[in-house]
Structure 1
Amino acid sequence: MTRAVRITVLGAGSWGTGVASLAARNTPTLIWARDPAQAEEINEQRTNNRYLDGHTLPSGLRATADLEEAASQADVLVVGVPSHSIRTVLDEVSPHVRAWIPVISLAKGLEPETRLRPTQVIGECLPGHSVGLLAGPNIAGEVLAGYAAAAVVATPDDAVASALQPLFASPVFRVYRNHDVTGCELGGILKNIVAIAAGMGDGLGVGVNTRALVIARGLAEITRLGEAMGADPRTFAGLTGLGDLMATCMSPASRNRRVGEEIASGKTVEQVLSEMTQVAEGVKTARSVMELADEYDVDVPICSEVDGVVNEGRTAEEAYRGLRKRTPGSEYEAA
Structure 2
Amino acid sequence: MPSEFDLIARHFTRPPRDAARVPLGVGDDCALVAPAAGMQLAISSDMLVEGRHFFAQADPALLGHKCLAVNLSDLAAMGARPLGFTLALALPAADDDWLRAFAGGMLALADAHDCDLIGGDTTRGPLNICITIFGEVPTGQALRRDAARSGDDIWISGTLGDARLALAGYRREIELDAASLQRAGRRMHVPMPRVALGQALRGIAHAAIDISDGLVGDLGHILERSGVGACIDADALPAGPELAAHPSELRRPFALAGGDDYELCFTAPASARESVLAAAAECGTPVTRVGRIDAAPGLRLVDRNGAPLSLQLASFDHFASP
Do the structures match in fold with TM over 0.5? no
Whose RCO is larger (CA < 8 A, sep 6+)? 2
Q: Hey, which of these two has a bigger chunk of strand by percent?
A: 2
